[in-house]
Amino acid sequence: MSTHNNPPEISFDDPARHGMTQRVTWISVAVNVFLTAAQVVAGIIAHSQGLIADGLHSLSDLVCDFLVLFAAHHSKDPADESHPYGHARIETAASFALGAILAVTGAGIIWSAGVKLQDLDNLPPVAPLALWTAGLALVAKEGLFRYMLRVGEKLRSPMLIANAWHARSDAASSLVVAVGIVGNMMGYNFADSVAAVIVGFMIVRMGAVFAWEAVQELIDTGLSIEEVNSIRQVIIDTPGVASLHELRTRRMAHRSLVDAHVCVDPRISVSEGHHIAELTRKRILDSHESVSDVLVHVDVEDDPEHDVKSQGMPAREELTQALTPLLAGLPEPQRIILHYIDDRIEAEVYLPRETLENAAAVSRAEHEICRQLTRNPLVSALSINYRQRVFPARRIA
């Protein structure tokens, strides 16, 4: 598409977002105040139920505009103790309320028009003023739709985009009303009321769509398959990630949250595992601007039951006591590293380098360790490391 159809996007963290949202919404407020008054007054004077219905639709737009202003003001508030993920879902709640208002308004219009259709003989003819007013409303609402949609796509705000399409539905309803008025003026008395019923159904459908989309977000529906696959590939391509164990996503207004379980080499250090997790997080945030936060959990096995199984295994204190008989005849270890792998324990034991001075004792101890390991149900492997001197790196001034 051309650049004209795809306006430059505004960063989610740009402070100008709030000002742009308020400006476009206040313009919508001004337009809807004018249209509501014009359509209702003209509808009453010209005896057009369709135009009055369209005026009530514009009134519902006005209520929705104030909902958008309220949500835009509060959704920009930073995270706090009560809302650790921020206030972005105020937009989602506003979108749901907007949909509910539309659905109720549409249902009321359908009911009223249905009552009128039962008494066609007493319906007065519609005056030409109604047609001119419907035409004016059509032009105004279509122009408002194009303006709001452009700004909404630029800000990537689902709330503004929803409000823009609401304006488009208004333009379509004004067109239907205009056709109904023309039919009434041609002698088909039912045409105006039928137009009102059609407008009512259009409003109900649009409200149901908005409300359903908001509900999907509120119940933490995941991102699209395309977005999830893109994030998955970024994770798999991260250096140090052996495989992806689990990936969960959810939306929060115009942002997304990601939870990932990655598998790494089970014998690397905790700090290296943390580095891989942070690298994974950074790569996702850099490649997917709509993602606001990523939680990366490091796993050592691609086994859904590994975490549950490891919870039943003994803690470090109990394990070091269990190793004592295996290390009989050797000096006290300077360091012990434990690996919980395949439902058993692999232990790395570090002894002082002076231990090597008594080669015979070392040989006997290692032979005894091998013998006892064959009968130990908990420890699958034990490696003995004789610590050499560690030289800390010094910076040259």
Report the range of poorest mean pLDDT among 203-217, 238-252, 285-299, 352-366.
352-366
Q: Is the pLDDT of residue 285 over 80?
A: yes
pLDDT confidence band for 373 (50 / 70 / 90): confident
Q: Higher-confidence residue: 131 or 331?
A: 131
The pair phi, psi for residue 167, each rounded to 5°, is: -65, -35
Summarize pLDDT for 36-80 with one digit per residue, the tens: 889 889 888 888 877 887 787 777 777 766 776 676 666 666 666
Residue 62 has a pLDDT of 74
pLDDT confidence band for 1 (50 / 70 / 90): very low
Q: Is the pLDDT of residue 133 over 80?
A: yes
Q: Is the pLDDT of residue 308 over 70?
A: no
Q: Is the pLDDT of residue 275 over 70?
A: yes
Percentage of residues in the chain having pLDDT higher than 90: 10
Report the range of poorest mean pLDDT among 79-88, 189-198, 215-224, 346-355.
79-88
Q: Is the pLDDT of residue 3 over 50?
A: no
Report the range of poorest mean pLDDT among 84-98, 128-142, 291-305.
84-98
Residue 4 has a pLDDT of 46
Q: Higher-confidence residue: 306 or 29?
A: 29
Domains with residue ranges and CATH for the chain: 16-218 (1.20.1510.10), 225-303 (3.30.70.1350), 313-386 (3.30.70.1350)
What number is the average pLDDT over the span 214-230?
83
Residue 78 has a pLDDT of 66
Q: Is the pLDDT of residue 252 over 80?
A: no
